[in-house]
Structure 1
């Protein structure tokens, strides 16, 4: 197992490097720059600013300089937050995104699995159609539509919760953003679980367990559910990475101080280092969480072994 983890980590390094390289050049291809203001700077001041941030050098030299700093753990200073480095901004924002994403992920995973199993056990019934209909709506309606609608109903009309901001981080402040962030993923987990559970219930080993007269709960929970969870776990890795590192839309709608908000501000203001820092963070999260998913496979499915 340790050898497998080590090999996977080594094989993931080129992926992170490719993502970092593509992101570096793509953001510089985009028109505009970090110092293109509505009121242009004096040419001498602009030249000094570019020299400070090494933007006066050729792109390939900027790239080598940036890669060298990243290998040392330095993501550079932010162009729009003058008194902060990118690492400091990410460390400040990441705890907020993780708390928000963790609650949303727990609701999505356990709620989606419960809905999927219930629908599969009552296939083609009214409960199945109702649950999958709700899941289809949750999967198709985007967050930037659901968020304002929920704010209008539950915050402005009913006044049950605030319209936004982190506040004290309590239930009332986080209820809306957590639900809005969890709904699309809950719908996907429900549909995945239902499909794989129906297939698992028709498997030969599950039929054999039924024929031996095992209790229904044992057949479903021990024999069918373990196999049905495999595609769910496969989807869990990238989903957890995107949710835990901050939802751009949800954090913007509800004015939350997470990583997603910094990504939006960095992209709008051409803050190259801030955008690159969030890209590296998301890439590392995806690599690590996908590795954890592969390890979990061995514990859920006895046919999977990593020697």
Structure 2
């Protein structure tokens, strides 16, 4: 198992390197810059600022500087948020994104799996059609449409919840953003579980278990569900990384101080280091969570290790 994990980790490191490299050059090629203001700075002042941030150096040398700092855990200072480093901003915002994402992920995984199993056990019945229609709706309607609609109904119309902001982090403040963030993923988990469970229930070993007279709960829970969860686990890794590190749309819609909102503000203001810091964070999360998914895969199906 240790060799398996080590090989997976070594194969993931080049992916992070490529993502960081492409992101570094793409954001600097984009028009504009962090100090292109409506009222231009004096040439000497602008030259001094660029010298402080190494922006007067050739692009390849800036990349070498940045890569060396990242390897030491230094993401540099923010160009826009004065007196703050990128690491400080991320450490401030990450807990908000992870709390929001954790609640959304729990609802999406457990709700989606339960919906998918229930629909698979009642295939081609009206509950199956109703659940799949609901999941199709959640999967096709984007959250930047669902968010304002739910805000108009429950916040503006019924006045049951605030329209936005973190507040005290209680139920009333988080219920709408959690639902908006969870709904698309819940729909995907439901459809994945339904499809894989239908296939698993028709497998030979499940038919044999039924022929031996095992209880339906044992056949479904012990034999079919274990095989049916494999596609769900595969999708869980990248989904957890994207949800836990902040949703750009949801955090912007509801004015939440998470990582996703910092990414938007950094991109709009050409804050190179802030954007790169969030990109590195998301890349590392994806690598770590995909590694965990591979380990879970290997425990559920030992054949994965040997392949």
TM-score grouping bracket, smaller chain normalisation: over 0.9
Structure 1 position 42, deviation (Å):
1.1
Distance 2:24 2:302 in 1: 42
- Asked if 1:158 is matched to 2:185, the reply is no
Distance 1:7 1:208 in 2: 37
Match of 1:92 in 2: 92
Residue deviations 1:48-67, cap 9 Å, x none?
11111000111001000100
Match of 1:107 in 2: 107
State the aligned residue count.
307
Distance 1:4 1:42 in 2: 57
* CA spacing shift, 1:273–1:303, aligned 2, 3 Å: same
Specify the SS of the correspondent of 1:305: helix
CA RMSD between the two structures: 1.0
Distance 1:302 1:68 in 2: 39
Distance 1:69 1:304 in 2: 37
Q: Is the Cα contact below 8 Å between 1:226 and 1:301 reproduced in 2? A: no
Match of 1:30 in 2: 30
Moved over 4 A (4+): none
* TM-score of the two chains, using structure 2 as the length reference: 0.98
Match of 1:272 in 2: 272
Structure 1 position 301, deviation (Å):
2.8
| Pairing 1:88-237 to 2, within 5 Å after superposition | 88-237=88-237
Structure 1 position 298, deviation (Å):
2.5
Structure 1 position 295, deviation (Å):
0.7
Residue deviations 1:75-119, cap 9 Å, x none?
000000011000000000000000000000000000000000000
Q: Is the Cα contact below 8 Å between 2:4 and 2:305 reproduced in 1? A: no
* CA spacing shift, 1:306–1:294, aligned 2, 3 Å: farther
Distance 1:117 1:4 in 2: 31
Specify the SS of the correspondent of 2:112: helix
Distance 2:46 2:208 in 1: 76
Q: Is the Cα contact below 8 Å between 1:90 and 1:259 reproduced in 2? A: yes
Q: Is the Cα contact below 8 Å between 2:77 and 2:85 reproduced in 1? A: yes
Residue deviations 1:23-43, cap 9 Å, x none?
000001100000011111111
Structure 1 position 306, deviation (Å):
5.7
